[in-house]
Amino acid sequence: MKALRKLLDNIKPHVEKGGKFHILHSGFDAVETLFFVPNTVTKTGAHIRDSIDLKRTMFVVVIALIPALLYGMWNIGYNHFLSIGTAAEGTFMDFFLFGFIKMLPLIIISYGVGLGLEIMFAQSRGHEVNEGFFVSGMLIPLIIPIDTPLWMVAIAVAFAVIIGKEVFGGTGMNIWNPALIARAFLFFAYPSSMSGDKIWVEGLNELSVVADGFSGATPLAVMAAEAGDTVVNFAQGIGNWSIAELIIGSYPGSIGETSVIAIGIGALILLATGVGSWKVMFSTFAGGLAMAYLFNILAPEEHIFMNMPAYFHLIIGGFAFGAVFMATDPVSATQTSKGKYIYGFLIGVIAVIIRVFNPAYPEGMMLSILLLNTFAPLIDYYVVQGNIKKRLKRIKVNA
């Protein structure tokens, strides 16, 4: 530790202003502050400062993502072996290691491209590297299909960092959630690689002989296809999956989104530490449930999707993942307390509407969050206007 400090102190003069390697300043700073909390002291304002910083905050989110990541790795393996019909012989470790090896390159590419760009931009602006990509870099691999080619991931990450974030001024200034921008970019730029029933399971595209009864479709795709056909007995689940399996999450889907239990553990971490906003999480779930119940009430008998029990919406697809990790992004969400309730509620409502009525987009969560990201400043504006009006009214009452 002391040796490391000494080493850093030796390098420091060379990367500081006037040094030979000033161009590496932001990169050096990122490494230095990774190992050591800087020795800066307060100059103006309060003399003492809270021990929290952005690094710790973001790190908590990464920790909260780990259960979903680990489960996702296992699920990659499990569904792969299921598709080739050898799942019964595979062990837990077989599944997990298979998924781990498939997942690792995605994570490396995501962090490598993203952090590289972040450091470049920080350097050109003379800023310190912002920790925002700590989280985005982990989120992106978790919300894409496992078979996404690595070059596509690299392009999507670059698009998200540059167009989604840096053009607005970097972390804290962006309008949309960068990870969702990456997802949306992939969705619209390479639709053939992002939709269909073959992309959610590793290797299914190239597989010549698929195991009997295995389709690779996600529960949402199954639901979208079934609309209007037969009556589904929801007590037995959807397609091949029982309700328990839907909750545990052993079905095909984006890597991190399937397990409500793993996401729930993450949610508990975010809520216990106060890093994630409970207001957004709660109201997103409330909005989704409310809209789905409304559909249940209004549904004509033949519309299967509208008749799907409301809570199913929360356990299939990316709803839970979006509500816990995406909607709560403090930068792109509303800033005010009242605004958060409105924002979350509308995300839930619109996600369910898109799911049920737009067969072209089986998953409504991504578009719903991006839409509400767009409207978040407007919601805040009206909440703040309420406060202004109250203050003006006070003058009139007194006058």
Partner 1 sequence: MTKVVKLKKGLNINIKGKAINELVDSGKSKLYAVMPTEFLGIIPKMLVKPDHVVKAGTPLFYNKYNPEVKFTSPVSGKVIAVERGARRKILRIVVEADAEMQYEDFKKGELSTLKKEDVIETLLNSGVWPFIRQRPYAIIANTKATPKAIFISGFDNAPLAPDYNFILKDQLDEFQNGVNVLAKLTEGKIHLNLDGKEENIFTSINGVEVNQIFGKHPSSTIGTQINHIDPINKGESVWYVNPQDVVIIGRLFSKGIFDAKRIVALTGSEVKAPKYYNTILGAKLDTITNGNLSDVNSRYISGNVLTGTQTEKDLYLSYYDSHVSVIPEGNYYEFFGWIMPRFKKFSMSKTYFSWLMPKKEYALDTNTNGGERAFVMSEQYEQVVPMDIYPVELLKACMAEDIDKMENLGINEVEEEDSTLCDYVCTAKIEAQETIRKGIDLMIKELS
Give the one residue of 3, 48, 235, 297 binding partner 1; rule: CB under 8 A: 48
The piece of 246-254, 256-264, 297-305, 335-343 that touches partner 1 (CB under 8 A) is: 335-343
Residues 6 or more apart whose CB falls under 8 angstroms from that of 315 comprise: 243, 246, 247, 260
Site for partner 1 in 159-178 (CB under 8 A): 169-173
Four-point Cα dihedral 134, 352, 218, 247, nearest 10: 80
Quote the DSSP letter at residue 326.
Answer: I
Shortest Å, Cβ 380 to partner 1: 8
Contact between 388 and partner 1 (CB under 8 A)? Answer: yes
Rg (CA), the chain: 23
Contact between 390 and partner 1 (CB under 8 A)? Answer: yes
CA–CA separation, 278 and 199 (whole Å): 33
Q: How many residues does the chain have?
A: 399
CA–CA separation, 150 and 113 (whole Å): 11
CA–CA separation, 349 and 291 (whole Å): 5
CA–CA separation, 364 and 38 (whole Å): 43
Q: Phi-psi region for residue 91, left (φ > 0), alpha (ψ -120 to 50) or beta?
A: beta
Site for partner 1 in 295-334 (CB under 8 A): 330-331, 333-334
Shortest Å, Cβ 24 to partner 1: 17
- Closer to partner 1 by CB, 302 or 394: give it: 394
Give the one residue of 50, 212, 229, 301 binding partner 1; rule: CB under 8 A: 50
Task: Annotate each residue in 114-143 with x if it binds partner 1 (CB under 8 A) or - if it does not, as one string.
Answer: --------------x-xxx-----------
**Cα separations (Å) of 98 from 91, 93, 280, 390?**
11, 8, 35, 60
Shortest Å, Cβ 396 to partner 1: 9
Task: Annotate each residue in 363-382 with x if it binds partner 1 (CB under 8 A) or - if it does not, as one string.
Answer: -----------------x--
What residues line the site for partner 1 (CB under 8 A)? 1, 4-5, 33, 35-42, 44-57, 59-60, 128, 130-132, 169-173, 272-275, 277, 330-331, 333-337, 340, 380, 384, 387-388, 390-392, 394-395, 398
